[in-house]
């Protein structure tokens, strides 16, 4: 049985070419990049190159990229770092209801620390309304943070419009682009964002390494104090293998975007979405139909529960995910789906299938053959509906 991993929004494999570049940095090139000797200097050079590669992916300057211990840390650094540095100017922060917890919980934490927080609702497709956003801005607003694309439903936000409003009003704008970076072309010279979060493991790089783009001239305070690495904003001896891996992953992503591989992925995604919607009754696509991540398909399948579906799929060799309460390990189904106005029972039937660079047309066809009988079987057991 061919196993089909369809959970690339959760994480991706480290590409073999990326791994090859990382390996020497464990035992061979082990110097501390902050040392002046040859051992240190060769590693410093490698970090500089990785920084340049990540910067190129965003059309940023290397000086504007700082490496962190992952996406969550970069989100924390952006939000707390701006709050700390601008608290004298104002204490109001804006975000959206469907942010990743790394943003949402950080902003809520600021709320406890004396900041005012506005959490904007989203429409049924998961988009922040531009008018709501404009209306939320106050004289004491210092920062808005809205994710580039959502991990659960794939919806891409109107980041340019939101950023332009921030420019006009003179407030800083952060976007969590963990899901988008490496998958959609991003150009920070063109895009009105001041801070942008990335994570290597969502783009065929290693886990535990992320980056924060900080536009030149934007001042933030560090979370981690110490030796002054990463321009004084993230102390600690660098995760050299991880950073080198991130650099290699950024180069791979740039090539994939330039080669049109993303468009190929988008066509496969559409084949999957159209197939699921046409082969299974009482299914809805969650998120926006077109303004969505090119590798992302997500649904709610009525009358059945997500975890049961995931286990049946897993036994059929397909790795998927869900935002049902059973899978989130909480009392409630996904707050993202609820924020989009879905009722609880429907949200419990959520199913997310996220494609990767190695997903083939045959894989999609296998999924389209495997999923309907699983749904039919579980529905036959359901008190709500007998037939798929």
Partner 1 sequence: MSMYNEKVIQAFMSPKNVGAMENPDGVGEVGNPRCGDVMKIYLRVRDDRIEDIRFETFGCAAAIATSSTATEMVKGRTIEEALKLTNRDVAEALGGLPPEKIHCSLLAEEGIRAAIEDYRRRRQGLPPLPPRHDAVCHHEIPETGEETRE
Ligand X SMILES: Cc1ncc(COP(=O)(O)O)c(C=O)c1O
Q: Which stretch binds ligand X (CB under 6 A): 66-74, 166-174, 306-314, 344-352?
A: 66-74
Task: Print the binding letters for residues 328-367 with partner 1: x by CB under 8 A, - otherwise.
Answer: -xxx-x---------xxx--x-------------------
Return the exposure string of 298-312: e unless at least 16 CB atoms fall within 10 Å of the residue's CB, then b: bbbbbbbbbebbbeb
- What gap in Å lies between CA 267 and CA 216, rounded to an integer? 37
CA 378 to chain centre: 31
By the rule CB under 8 A, 380 interacts with partner 1 = yes
3-state secondary structure of 292: strand
What distance in Å separates the CA atoms of residue 243 and residue 68, rounded to the nearest whole number? 9
245 binds ligand X (CB under 6 A): no
Residue 24, helix vs strand vs coil: helix
- Which of partner 1, ligand X, none binds 381 (CB below 5-8 Å, type-dependent)? partner 1
Within positions 116 to 175, which residues make up the interface with ligand X, using CB under 6 A?
147, 151
Q: Give least dist CB 80 to ligand X, A.
A: 15
Q: Where are the beta strands (DSSP E) in 215-342?
A: 283-285, 296-301, 318-319
Decide: helix, strand or coil at residue 322.
coil
Residue 141 or 151: the one with the smaller Cβ distance to ligand X is: 151
CB contact at 8 A, 344 and 350 = no
Nearest distance, CB of residue 315 and partner 1, angstroms: 7
Instruction: Return the axis-axis angle of helices 101-112 and 71-86, rounded to nearest 10°.
Output: 30
Residues 229 and 34 sit within 8 Å (Cβ to Cβ): yes
223 backbone dihedrals φ, ψ, rounded to 5°: -90, -40
- Smallest distance, ligand X to C-beta of residue 201, A: 6
- The reply on whether position 323 binds ligand X by CB under 6 A is no
- Cα–Cα distance measured from residue 265 to residue 357, given in angstroms and rounded to the nearest whole number: 7
151 binds, among ligand X, partner 1, none (CB under 5 to 8 A by kind): ligand X
Does the protein bind partner 1 through residue 74 (CB under 8 A)?
Answer: no
Among 7, 15, 251, 305, binds partner 1 (CB under 8 A): 305
The angle that helices 361-381 and 261-279 make with each other, rounded to 10 degrees, is 30
Stretch that binds partner 1, among 15-23, 171-179, 232-240, 326-334 (CB under 8 A): 326-334
- Tell me if residue 326 is catalytic: yes
Q: Which of 33, 210, 242, 245 binds ligand X (CB under 6 A)?
A: 210
Nearer to partner 1, 343 or 362 (CB): 343
72 makes contact with ligand X (CB under 6 A): yes
Among 158, 307, 356, 370, binds partner 1 (CB under 8 A): 307
Exposed, middle or buried: residue 168 (CB in 10 Å: 0-12, 13-18, 19+)?
exposed
Q: Which is nearer to partner 1, 94 or 325 (CB)?
A: 325
Q: Which of 326, 368, 370, 372 binds partner 1 (CB under 8 A)?
A: 326
The structure tokens 């082990």 sit at 30
Are the C-beta atoms of residues 359 and 6 closer than 8 Å to each other?
yes
| Catalytic center residues | 326
Residues engaged in binding ligand X (CB under 6 A): 70-72, 75, 100, 102, 147, 151, 176, 178-179, 199, 201, 210
Residues engaged in binding partner 1 (CB under 8 A): 303-308, 310-312, 315, 324-327, 329-331, 333, 343-345, 348, 380-384, 386
């Amino acid at each position: 049985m061919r196993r089909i991993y369809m959970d690339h929004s959760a994480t991706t494999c480290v590409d073999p070419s990326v791994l090859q570049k990382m390996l020497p940095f464990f035992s061979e090139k082990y110097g501390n990049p902050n040392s002046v000797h040859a051992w240190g200097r060769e590693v410093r050079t490698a970090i500089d190159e990785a920084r340049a590669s990540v910067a190129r992916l965003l059309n940023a300057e290397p000086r504007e990229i700082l490496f962190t211990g992952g996406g969550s840390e970069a989100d924390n650094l952006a939000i707390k770092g701006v709050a700390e540095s601008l608290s004298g100017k104002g204490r109001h922060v804006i975000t959206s209801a469907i942010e990743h917890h790394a943003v949402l919980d950080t902003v809520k934490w600021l709320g406890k620390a004396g900041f005012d927080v506005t959490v904007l609702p989203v429409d049924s497709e998961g988009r922040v309304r531009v008018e709501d956003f404009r209306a939320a801005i106050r004289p004491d607003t210092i920062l808005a943070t809205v994710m580039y694309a959502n991990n659960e439903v794939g919806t891409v936000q109107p980041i340019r419009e939101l950023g332009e409003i921030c420019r006009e009003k003179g407030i800083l704008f952060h976007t969590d682009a963990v899901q988008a970076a490496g998958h959609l072309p991003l150009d920070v010279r063109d895009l009105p964002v001041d801070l942008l979060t990335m994570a290597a493991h969502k783009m065929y790089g290693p886990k535990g390494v992320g980056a924060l783009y900080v536009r030149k001239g934007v001042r933030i305070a560090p979370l981690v104090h110490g030796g002054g690495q990463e321009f004084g904003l993230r102390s600690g001896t660098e995760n050299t293998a991880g950073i080198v891996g991130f650099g290699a992953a950024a180069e791979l992503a740039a090539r994939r975007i330039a080669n049109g591989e993303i468009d190929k992925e988008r066509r496969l995604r559409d084949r999957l979405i159209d197939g699921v919607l046409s082969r299974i009754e009482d299914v809805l696509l969650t998120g926006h139909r077109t303004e969505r991540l090119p590798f992302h398909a997500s649904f709610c399948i009525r009358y059945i529960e997500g975890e049961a579906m995931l286990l049946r799929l897993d036994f059929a060799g397909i790795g998927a995910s869900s935002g049902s309460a059973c899978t989130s390990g909480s009392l409630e189904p996904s707050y993202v789906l609820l924020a989009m106005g879905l009722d609880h029972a429907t949200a419990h039937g959520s199913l997310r299938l996220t494609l990767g660079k190695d997903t083939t047309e045959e894989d999609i066809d296998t999924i389209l053959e495997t999923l309907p009988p699983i749904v039919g079987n579980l529905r036959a057991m359901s008190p709500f509906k007998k037939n798929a």
